[in-house]
Structure 1
Amino acid sequence: MDVPSDAIEAMNRAIIRSKRTSSVHFPIEYVRRAGASIPTAARLVKSHEIRLKLHMTLVMQATKAPYTLPKRQTRYLAQSLNLDPKTGPSRVNTALKWLNEIQLVTPVQLPDGRPGVLLLHPDGSGIEWEGRGRRWVGVPFTLWSNMWILRLSGIAIVVLMALLELNGGSTHPQGELMDGYRKKQYGLSDDTWTRATQELELFGLLQMTDVYWGDDEFPIRKRKRYLVLRDALDNTPDWSIEAR
């Protein structure tokens, strides 16, 4: 993959405008199932990864309540996501309409009279976005500032968020175990999970360790421990690697 210089420049403009310096907080429902509903991140990436990356980038730019942003030209948004300049704007426009239909964003008028976009809570209730809330997942700002958002596939990003949630507060040197029930709460198939973890491992963002786990109640079986190598996000990605 060639270094997407134009996309990097456009994404950098969005980052500078945001004035953000810390991690980006997503409500727990964005990553992990609440009740019977599919998590927002899984729903977005299953529809198309453009919708996931676009929405996450909008969240990155909205730093305080009310979580609004000026309306951006679709040409600029397409460039920042490294889309084809001919077809990208229409694809972004379609993605924005879809995000509006499922009540993740809604058009508003900003105090200065300009058209804008208001972020809505990922539970689809139509209430305004909650920056932290009672439970949330912190995604390192380096996912954007070091352009991993452009380098990783959508499924890799969703699994990365899931593993950040899984390891929240963990101090185990090999990361946390994942059982089948917990994995289903992230809303992804086993095949998607395998492909995404392989991609994260390929880019040096994930360490997986096979272990045998069980006790007097559960039979001993082989499972994996997942450790997100967060320090690797502090580096820019290798654009020459061919992802599987």
Structure 2
Amino acid sequence: MSPTDPLESVQFTVDEIRAAVTVARSWGTYVHTHCHTRPTMHNALDAGVRCIEHGTDMDEETADRIVAEGVFVVPTLSVSYDLLQAREAAGITPAQIAKLESMQGRRDEGMRVMVDRGVKMASGSDIVGPVQDRRGRELTHKAAVIGNERALVAATRTTAELIGRADDLGTVEVGKIADLVLTDGNPLDDIEALAAPSRIQYVLQGGRVVRDQRSATATA
């Protein structure tokens, strides 16, 4: 979204990224890198990152290397959809719009390549600021490309694995933290059930009820 930097620009060397990876590991954590193009993804892989954010221009060669090295990818769809739909309100320039539009088809095809090659796809929206209630739209956008079940697995089990919490989170199993969401429809059939806050009927976070709309719905 930079108004001046070309989408194809490579802005960090392998040595620079590797330095960040080294420091992160010394703190017991890891590095995500912001990559849209293949050269930047390969630089990130050379440096030993754990996760690639966006991965827009994915091809089979890059995907195969990502799988071989056990790296995750987090495609982010919502933010570009929202910006393009509200381009005037967002105040983005024609050059920024052109970059966003050039990414759309490449990104969807890249996600299909990731599914075909077995890339570990986690989930994130890239949405910041006052529109956090739109983050559920990420699931609907992903599902339109890779299907409902894969979109749900990306947002739950695979993301828990990415952040090192697979023993506690990501699936409904005995012994795991009780983080549960109930909707007014089955997301496997109707992914929109997770897109609108009004359709979230019940939320259990860490075993504690933080939202319960069931009685209100029954009364209505």
Structure-2-length-normalised TM-score = 0.26
Q: Which has the higher contact order (CA 8 A, sep 6+)?
A: 1
User: Which protein has the bigger helix share?
Assistant: 2
Structure-1-length-normalised TM-score = 0.25
